[in-house]
Structure 1
Amino acid sequence: MTHQEISHHRLVSQKLYKKTKSSPQEIVRHFGAMQAQDYAMAKWAIGSRCDASEVAIEEAINSAQIIRTHILRPTWHFVSADDIYWMLDLSSPQVKRFTNSAAKKYGYDDKKLDQINLAIEKMLAGNNHMTRDEIMQELNIKKSSSQEFLPGTIIMNAELDGLVCNGKMKGKQITYALLEERVLKPITKLTKEEALAKLAKRYFESHGPATLLDFSWWSGFPRTTCKIALNALELQLNFVETEGQTYWFGNQISDENHFRESVHFLPAFDEILISYKTREVSILLEHQSKAFTNNGIFKPIIMENGKVIGTWKRTIKKDHAKIETQFFNETESSKKEILFEGIKAFENYLEMKIVIE
């Protein structure tokens, strides 16, 4: 399997061909978790894979069909309400090592964090949705340059403990609410082995063909742990060896997934790039610094036939959205017109006129 073929099959597994109709929640559930620290762009990551508008996706998030919280690695992710509890049970102990270490720098041990959680639970009880600043004000924790990351650490700890998750948006402000008031807690729990195997299967089916190292990077679990999960799944997955690498993928990939011409305007931090340890399959090495930085900042990208050929940015105006593009190589005007057909999906998603500059 060549890099071009791997890239094509990833478009299929990542649902960028929209072969079947899916709801926003179904898209998120398919992926297991979708990186979501850039909230506006993360909504488009869902929208680019289904026909839902931004308004419809926002409603799915506000109604808790989709949860936005810190999980895996850690960073913001979208997770389906169906998956939030077992995934938190699996990843929280590992991720909390980072948050607990950060909290201790501010003099907050486990006991003090538990006391903070009790206070947060009381103030949010009864479907009360509050912003982080409002919560910190109630906790009497003032903004300080010496404790710049303390509020974020406190909230992340509460998220990882399964206490809070995103609430309804308050204008453009993110709020927090009690997770158990938004999503009913399941009666049964998965074992760690069952949950890890479930996460691995979800990853390779939605991101494959991908390597063991890719899964380790995406999930945040050590390679040895991921290898155990992969060994348990061998009979449920397919694999191919290319250039000394073993790529795993789900049974849904077949020779019937013929290549097709495609153009995609994808958001910053999209799973098509960020969910893999190395990205040479989808973007040439000499162009990678133009699409993402060494410290993990990813730009919105333009993909043609599975290869990243440029970047783009959008500016929302009063009655339209302005799109600016930057291609890696000189592009003829006639070809640009064909490429710009790919932006129509974004126009439909925004339900707003697009102006390309």
Structure 2
Amino acid sequence: METHELLWSRLTGQQLREPRAATAEEALKNLLAVQAQEFPYARWSLSQRTAAATAADVEQAVAEGRILRTHILRPTWHFVHRDDLPWLRALSAPRLHQANGGTYRKTGIDNETASRSADVLTAAVAGGVHLTREQLAARLQDAGFHATGLALAYLIMHAEISGVLVSGVPIRSPGGALRQTYASFDERVAGATGAAPSRDESLAALVLRYFGSRGPATVRDCADWSGLTMKDVRTGLALVGDMAPGAIVAASFDGADFYLRPESGGETPGRTSRQGVDGQPQIDLVQCYDEYIMGYSLSRHYFGGTAPAYPFGDNPMHVVLSDGVLAGAWRHSLVRRGSQVERCELDIRLARPNGHGDGQAVEAAVTRYGAFLGVPAVRAPAGA
């Protein structure tokens, strides 16, 4: 396996190349969980893995509870499909509470406090009520909790991890930004299908979905992504080998063991990683927390960078890929006329001079981003 084959496998497995998902939900089911603390850009992470899903499509799926946004895995915000959240939360919760233990102690969240706050929050969102963070804070403060700052954040996170709260219908602020609300976990996942799996079944499912979408990847990559131990991941691989022989295979590369789906190993016959305009490199605009980056730890460097990196000055922080390799940075700005978005300007800064082919590929990426937002998109002039 060569580096370009590894990158091509990741691009195709993650559906940044054909065949793409039909819907944002299908893209999410493939990836299992998608990091989502930057909500506007996280919508794009799902959309660009589909044929034509828009920001509005993703927002509608979130509003209807088919896609849920919650703290899970490491922990940080993630999108998870409603059908997967119950078992993934149950698998993740012990490690998440362990990871948060120091902050729980710092903010005075012991077992009694967590239980009492859970009762307050359960009552607050019962019967289909969806509340903002500020509204939850008010309910907790009325009940005598010091629910501000870090303490508030971790009381809410504890409730998410414990299966009390999950994302509700987002609301739009007067300025147009979407704001998270919280709802009852049980009510929002009521339509989830299937019986609760055992821990072994959940481990096998996570490992199969992770390596099936992100392979080639290492055991450490999966452990760091999932928040599980390397022993858990190895157990999951063994279980997959028993339950679905041949579904995940091993490959050695750079002195390390990688795991992947058999059909994702190497390039499709007759194809190369160059899929752009007239044989030129394909340009992808991915958010800095995209799964193509955050799906790996030990082997993240193969894409040519160390993102997510926080920029200096006014430099953009999101990532331009050229055939899957770091090629620059980007960000978007919405230009408004009154309350209406008139256009989107994309500040795209390439690390090397772009030739004619690259220019066409960049424009194709800009056009697609505009279609996602549903407004005209243009590339901002250099130095603007």
Aligned residue in 2 for 1:280: 301
Choose the corresponding residue for 2:225, options 218, 225, 229. Answer: 218
The Cα of 1:124 is off from its aligned counterpart by 0.8
Residue 35 of structure 1 corresponds to 35
| 1:269–1:299 Cα contact (<8 Å) kept | no
* Alignment partner, residue 292 of structure 1: 309
- 1:334, 1:108 → 2: CA distance? 56
* Distance of aligned partners of 1:21 and 1:37 in 2 relative to their CA distance in 1, 3 Å threshold: closer
Deviation at 1:170, TM superposition (A): 1.6
Partner of 2:347: 324
**What corresponds to 2:23 in structure 1?**
23
Gaps of 5+ in 1: none
What one-letter code is carried by the residue in structure 2 that aligns with 1:37?
A: Q
Instruction: Please report how far the alpha carbon of residue 37 of structure 1 lies from its aligned counterpart in structure 2 after TM superposition.
Output: 0.6
Rounded to whole Å, the distance in 2 between the matches of 1:251 and 1:59 is: 35
**Partner-residue secondary structure (3-state), 1:149:** helix
Which residue in the other structure is 2:175 paired with? none
1:86-105 equivalent positions in 2, closer than 5 A = 86-105=87-106
Choose 233-242 or 79-88, whichever is displaced more.
Answer: 233-242
Q: Is 1:176 aligned with 2:176?
A: no
CA contact (8 A) 2:109 2:155 kept: no
Equivalent residue, structure 2, for 1:356? 379
Q: Distance in 2 between matches of 1:39 and 1:103?
A: 26
Measure the CA separation in 2 of the matches of 1:189 and 1:43.
29
State which of 249, 256, 274 in structure 1 corresponds to 2:268: 256
Offset at 1:330? 3.0
Partner AA of 1:256 in structure 2:
T
Cα shift at 1:293: 4.7
Q: Deviations over 1:301-352 (max 9, x none)?
A: 1111111101101011120001111112233466324332222221110111
Tell me the number of residue pairs that the alignment of Structure 1 and Structure 2 aligns.
Answer: 349
Match of 2:278 in 1: none
- Regions of 4+ moved over 4 Å: 141-144
Given the alignment, which residue of 189, 196, 199 partners 1:192? 199
CA offsets 1:227-261 (integer angstroms, 9 cap, x no match): 12122224321221111011111133255363242
* 1:89-142 Cα shifts (integer Å, max 9, x gaps): 100111011334312222221111111101111111111100111111111179
Contact 2:24 2:47 in 1 (8 A): yes
Matched AA of 1:315:
S
Which residue is equivalent to 1:231?
238
Q: Which amino acid aligns with 2:268?
A: E
With a CA cutoff of 8 Å and minimum separation of 6, indicate the structure with the bigger relative contact order: 1
Residue among 300, 307, 314 paired with 2:332: 314
Aligned to 2:154: 153
Distance change (3 Å), C-alpha of 1:44 and 1:336: same
Q: Does 1:343 align with 2:377?
A: no
Alignment-mate amino acid for residue 292 of structure 1? A
* Match status 1:208 vs 2:215: yes
Contact 1:208-1:249 within 8 A present in 2 as well? yes
Partner of 1:77: 78
Q: Is the 8 A contact 2:54 2:371 kept in 1?
A: yes
User: Contact 2:21/2:49 (CA < 8 Å) preserved in 1?
Assistant: no
SS at match of 2:121: helix
> Amino acid of the residue matched to residue 17 of structure 2?
Y
- Kept in 1, the 8 Å contact 2:166–2:183? The answer is yes
Is the Cα contact below 8 Å between 1:264 and 1:343 reproduced in 2? no
SS in 2 for 1:247: strand
Structure 2 residue identity aligned to 1:183: V
Equivalent position amino acid for 1:212 in 2: V
8 Å contact kept, 1:99–1:156: no
